[in-house]
Structure 1
Amino acid sequence: MAFKKARGLFIATWLTGAGLTVAGCGPALEQEEPGDEATGSEQQALTEGAPLTAHDASCLKLQDQNTWSTYASYMTGVGPALGLPAILADLNRAGPVLTSTNHPAAVGYKGGFRWNDGDMSTTDWVPQGLTAGVSGSTNVAIVAWHYTLSSPDKGVRISVADISDMSLSAVNYRHILLVRPTSSGNFTTIPEHGGGLAWFGNYLYMADTADGARVFDLTQIREVSTSTTCETAIGKVGTEWCAYGYKYVLPQVSAYVVPSTITSPCRPKFSFLGKDTRGSTDVLLSGEYCNNTGTGCPYDGSTPGLGGRLYRWPVDSTTYRLKTVSGLVAPERAWIMNEPNVQGVAPIMTTTATTSYWLSSTRYSGALFKVSTGASRTAYLSGSGQWARMPEGMHATGSGTNLWTVTEGYSGSTSPASGGRVVFFADQASLD
């Protein structure tokens, strides 16, 4: 927590010193693209299932923390930098592929896998974010898990899974611990929820709930010790580098954070992330989880839970970092989702319109919502056998073929068909 406070102070000082001001947020209409039918302001009542409502996000900026070179230099003493190919050659766990008799019910279901028995039943770790991509000739899924215990807080781990051939009997994978460099040759865990991931180039973006998005470099993975000492330690211990028994660590290289001068209602949560490559510029998607039975979001109107906002952040196609102007990133567009309990987002790749999305929600114990600015939602509900229970992060393949998702598990079930943790993909066209 001390790190967060210090970071916020640094950002506020930097903004003041640079002569920049960040305007406060106020209700206003956003100018929509031609053909968009939905307009609205944050003052109006919201309706569950209504079209995406335009949101004025001109008050919001992200600050590049700019630790790219510093954090990378801190890790040089830990050992040689490894890339994903080295990890894919050292996968140590097998997750059985789902069959016709044990997969969850989902419209357009095509295939998937479950985790090994230990990962299906553990209560210490819970799956959250998901993204996917290609490393060399290997198709890869990456899933984030958050640690549920507080002492010690092991933070977030990711699972790197080879999903190249889903006709095999099992998917091989390995867990890697995410870490933040703290000084030369040392690092610590990242106590976050791991609610969302997005993969651009060599960079893995992870949602930082209160502050923005952290960035990790997939070419900077390090091997650490798996000795008995290291099973209960993090960072450098004597002559060893430890990561609670994990063989590999993936270090943070920088972060994009909301300046401390930006407060509610302008300041959002970063509950989940997604990736959109439909337009001329690649986009990092971020959104807010709002619970319809808990504290409302700033623009919920009279119905708590519906005011979660969805943002588009432009990505530089050359560097794969967010596009900055004087170190600041502005959202390209934003909407209010009119849906509660949203856990993930993916673009509808079967259309070029950048105003349509799938939202993954734990509403109704599990749902997939097809939403846009021009029409009320289409809902695929777990209770009707149309989608899996407790879905989290999602990834839509650029070809418009498959929609991947991960589930966090339902009521302690280890049965894939009735709510156990799974990773699966469905046919995008069947859901469109």
Structure 2
Amino acid sequence: MSVRRRNLSRAVLAAVLLVGGAVVAAPAAEAATVPTALPTSQYTLSADYHQFDAVNTALVSTLGTAAVHTVMDNANHDRTALPSSVSVAGLADWFRFDSADNSDCANYPQGITTSRDAVGTADSGNYDGHQLVLVSWYTKDGCDGAQARSRITLVDWDATYPNKYRKVLLVEPTGTAAAPDFKDIPIHAGGVSWYGDYLYVADTGHGMRVFDMRKILKTNTGGTAGQIGHQTGSTYYAHNYAYVLPQVGTITSKTTSGTNLSWSSISLDRVSKSIVMAEYTCASGCTAYPNRAPRAIRFPFAAGATTFAATTTASEALQLPWYNLNGVASHNSRWWFNSSGAKKLYYWTPATGAATHTWVSSGESLSYWEDATNADLLWTLQEGAGNRNVFAVTQATYGA
């Protein structure tokens, strides 16, 4: 089956930039200071992909699984186009969530990855028959409450299929093989990377949580909004979600530098077969975030695998000169960093130096989209309520 990417408008490639909903001219790149190298030996990962095997086996037996194509066959939310008055320099593709999700004060989109990350460009980047954009969210306990849980949305990006998406709750297995259960995962989910069948979700103070896209569970709808996990008999509620994705393992980071990493954002680099992470920090004055220079670290996957070895040492470590970083991407020794605070997109290579581009307000994670026939893209999104634009730009507009 021939699958083409849905382009809402290829005609709109004007050099204008959306900043807080307003359209302004996109200025030329500015000069910038550059990252400096840190000792890679100071940063390591420990991986456990079998942490919940016994309970997950029991959950699968009890609840049954739904393949990704089944989830998308039952997608129940309509993605929409952006207003025609907004655009971004190098704009290639875009969408918005439905009106309820666009304005929801308790749920915030954060990370972004795609099926192109998962499988590359073969078969137009299809995973289980669908070309997908995946976004991670965190949910607060009410508009002014604390983080209560996290979820993902799977968004169809094929012209062959309707403009639909489906929400899937992220859960942590609990209980025993004899009495399996699950609970909410109250993390920020600031970054997400999909590689092969595994989904890696940033867990700010620890590292990453790992999920297996082949193990989406079917749950019972109904009940009250607060009901989670096993109720009676074989009934399992999940805040009225029909599908949950249980955690399969944990990737824990450690540093000998004296300051633990803050996993604010992550992204997949398919060229070097690694995940890169970056920290959100402040120059000064922050109470909820570190007040120090941020770092970006690259961790390679095990050779020929979509998993990390039991212990992994960083292959690249950088001290960064920029702050308030909500997004990172790397591809072919090129780096991009999104600063929501400065509304800047920083581009850097060791060979050519750094450049700074004006960027969007409330910008979040980045994901590199390889394309065998068209221009490569950078996908990103905005988290601000009422302005949740998800869009892709030609990467050459912000680099080379």
After TM superposition, the score normalised by the length of structure 2 is 0.81
- Which shows bigger deviation, 144-153 or 392-401? 144-153
Q: Is the 8 A contact 1:59 1:266 kept in 2?
A: no
Match of 1:342 in 2: 325
Residues 147, 187 of structure 2: 8 Å contact kept: no
Residue 388 (1) aligns with residue 374 (2): no
Aligned partner of 1:143 in structure 2 is 135
Helix, strand or coil: the match of 1:194? Answer: coil
Q: 2:264 corresponds to which residue?
A: 271
Taking the aligned partners of 2:256 and 2:285, their CA distance within structure 1 comes to 20
The CA distance in 1 between the partners of 2:67 and 2:218, in whole Å, is 11
2:341 alignment partner in structure 1: 363
Counterpart among 210, 231, 236 of residue 215 in structure 1: 210
Within the alignment, does 1:92 sit opposite 2:76 as a pair?
yes
- Using a 3 Å threshold, how does the CA distance of structure 1 residues 363 and 49 change in structure 2: closer, same or farther? farther
Q: Is the 8 A contact 1:52 1:372 kept in 2?
A: no
Q: Secondary structure in 1 aligned to 2:42?
A: coil
CA distance in 1, matches of 2:350, 2:54: 42
Which amino acid is the alignment partner of residue 361 of structure 1? Answer: S
* 1:138-170: CA deviation from partner (whole Å, max 9, x where unpaired): 21011011112277854101110001239x9x7
Specify which of 169, 173, 177 is matched with residue 181 of structure 1.
173
C-alpha distance in 1, partners of 2:62/2:106? Answer: 27
1:315 aligned residue: 301
Q: Distance in 2 between matches of 1:152 and 1:421?
A: 21
Identical-pair percentage: 26
- Whether 2:116 is the aligned partner of 1:125: answer no
**Match for residue 188 of structure 2 among 157, 173, 193:** 193
Counterpart position of 1:417: none
CA distance in 1 between counterparts of 2:249 and 2:188 reads 17
Q: Distance in 1 between matches of 2:58 and 2:284?
A: 44
CA–CA distance in 1 between the matches of 2:346 and 2:366?
12
Q: Secondary structure at the match of 1:232?
A: coil
Structure 2: runs of 5 or more not aligned: 1-30, 116-125
Q: Is the 8 A contact 1:78 1:241 kept in 2?
A: no
Q: Once the two structures are superposed, what CA deviation does each residue of 1:74-120 show, in whole Å capped at 9, x if it has no partner?
A: 4224411222111111110001122532x3x4210122111111101
Indicate the structure with greater strand content.
Answer: 2
Partner of 2:16: none
Distance across 1 between alignment mates of 2:294 and 2:58: 37
- What is residue 3 of structure 2 aligned with on the other side? none
The residue that corresponds to 1:205 in the other structure is: 200
Q: CA separation in 2, counterparts of 1:271 and 1:60? A: 16
Q: Using the alignment, how far apart are the partners of 2:58 and 2:238 within structure 1?
A: 16
Distance in 2 separating the partners of 1:192 and 1:331: 24
Name the residue aligned to 1:284: 275
Q: Which residue of 2 aligns with 1:408?
A: 383
Counterparts of 2:147 and 2:337 in 1: how far apart (Å)?
Answer: 30
Alpha carbons 2:80, 2:95 under 8 Å: kept: yes
Question: Within the alignment, does 1:424 sit opposite 2:385 as a pair?
Answer: no
1:106 is matched with 88
Residue 68 of structure 1: how far off its partner (Å): 5.5
Does the aligned pair in 2 maintain the 1:155–1:191 contact within 8 Å?
Answer: yes
Q: Deviations over 1:257-296 (max 9, x none)?
A: 135xx576242111111000123xx101111111234359
Question: 1:20 matched to which residue of 2?
Answer: none
C-alpha contact 1:71 1:254 (8 A) present in aligned 2: no
Q: Cα distance 1:135–1:209, how it changes in 2: closer, same or farther (>3 A)?
A: same
1:57 and 2:68 are equivalent in the alignment: no
Deviates more, 1:398-407 or 1:185-194: 398-407
Count of residues in Structure 1 that have an aligned counterpart in Structure 2: 349
The one of 243, 247, 252 equivalent to 2:238 is 243
What residue identity is the alignment partner of 1:267?
N
1:51·1:374 contact (CA, 8 Å) conserved in 2? no
Answer whether contact 1:60 1:267 (CA < 8 A) is retained: no
> Partner letter of residue 172 of structure 2?
R
Distance in 1 (alpha carbons) for counterparts of 2:183 and 2:52: 17
Structure 2 matches for 1:162-177, cutoff 5 A? Answer: 162-165=156-159, 171-177=163-169
> What CA deviation, in whole Å up to 9, does each residue of 1:289-336 have, x standing for no partner?
1123435999x9xxx55x2111111113544111x2xx3121111111
1:121–1:53 distance in 2 versus 1, CA, 3 Å: same
Q: 1:90 and 1:294 mapped to 2: Cα distance?
A: 46
Structure 1 residues 243 and 369: CA distance shift in structure 2, 3 A: same
Q: SS state of the match for residue 82, structure 1?
A: coil
TM superposition shift of 1:222: 0.6
**Structure 1 length-normalised TM:** 0.75
